[in-house]
Amino acid sequence: MSKKPVIAFLTGGYSGEAEISYKSAITIENNIDKDKYEVYKIDIRKDGWWHTTGDGQTTGVDRNDFSLTVAGNKVTFDAVLIGIHGTPGEDGKLQGYFDMLGIPYTSCDAATSALTFNKRYTVAVAAFSGINVARSLHLFRHTPVDPLQVASQLQLPVFVKPNNGGSSIGMSKVNKAEDMAEALRKAFNEDDQVLVEEFISGREFTIGVFKTGGKIMTLPFTEVISKKEFFDFEAKYQGLSEEITPAVVDESIAEKVRSAAKRVYEVFNCRGVVRIDFIYNEAKGEPYMLEINTVPGQSEASIVPQQVRAMGWTLKDFYSALIDEALALK
């Protein structure tokens, strides 16, 4: 009987999004097929990278070769399942490290992760490839700008958001030019770069896309109806939004969203599962891409697990497909 593949499952992270990583970790841990894989959970924190054994012993990772010593035995890994939202799991840093060690992993590669973590560069590449996106401005802390000048360059209302990261922390919707200064202050609180983006009116859809057996597959997508003015952190994580999975839409619209999602996955050379957010502008009859999440949330309430279940798969099947796709890269 052949030995089971040894998988490192990474959680935690260095940003405020670690809290969301730990929520995702519960679902992932409960649904990884332990009969099929030998799994070690590793908590990536600023004070070290740690694994806690079943009997409560904590051991640090040797970062020279990404190995553990457990009960006197050296453990090395066949593949890595990345469950870290924010830095260093979603922005390409860990991906680059694993590339240098030659260890395959379940997420997009280092270049794609770094690019998509920067919202402005993401929409620039998408626009260059003919994918519909909103008009936007990219601001830097080291080059101060007059808030009223920003408001005059785009058509209000606009969204003001930190350029890097996810979870909608630090995001505002600005309807009046005089509110721009406060929105910029709030966003710069979270990041040195800020994206100001024109509001596109329409229905908000979000769709999981993954690759299995080398084939790109779309999950049944979700319509997000926020009870707030937009899908911010509270709407996303504190139940102030309604998520309808699968979305109730005409097949002609559904096909446009699925086709745009596959195109984005191809253009950005994605791997593993990503979640792509769109606004479907009914006046133009076109989906507009908002952003790409390369490590989408996996908590029980998260959108990707909802979509996996709507497709008729179990999460165990799904995580096995992601891990097997990574192992095939070895």
Write down all domains in the chain, each with its CATH number in brackets: 6-106 (3.40.50.20), 114-133+200-294 (3.30.470.20), 136-198 (3.30.1490.20)
- At residue 226, the pLDDT reads 75
Band of residue 143 on the pLDDT scale cut at 50, 70, 90: very high
Instruction: Show the CA angle centred on residue 295, arms to residues 325 and 286, nearest 5°.
Output: 100
The pairing of strands 68-70 and 58-60 is unpaired
Band of residue 235 on the pLDDT scale cut at 50, 70, 90: very low
Tell me the pLDDT of the chain averaged across its residues. Answer: 92
Longest distance between any two alpha carbons in the chain, whole Å? 69
* Residue type, position 73, single letter: N
- At residue 168, the pLDDT reads 63
Band of residue 229 on the pLDDT scale cut at 50, 70, 90: low
SS3 state of residue 122: helix
How far is the C-alpha of 172 from the C-alpha of 42, rounded, in Å?
A: 35
Residue 21 DSSP label:
H
**Nearest to residue 151, comparing CAs of 140, 160, 161, 162?**
160
Band of residue 1 on the pLDDT scale cut at 50, 70, 90: very low
- At residue 130, the pLDDT reads 96
**Nearest to residue 103, comparing CAs of 140, 144, 61?**
61
Residue written as token pair 């993401």: 122
Band of residue 16 on the pLDDT scale cut at 50, 70, 90: confident
- pLDDT of 170 strictly over 90: no
Residue 192: partners with Cβ closer than 8 Å, 6 or more residues away = 140, 141, 142
Whole-model pTM? 0.90
Higher pLDDT, 307 or 166: 307
Band of residue 2 on the pLDDT scale cut at 50, 70, 90: low
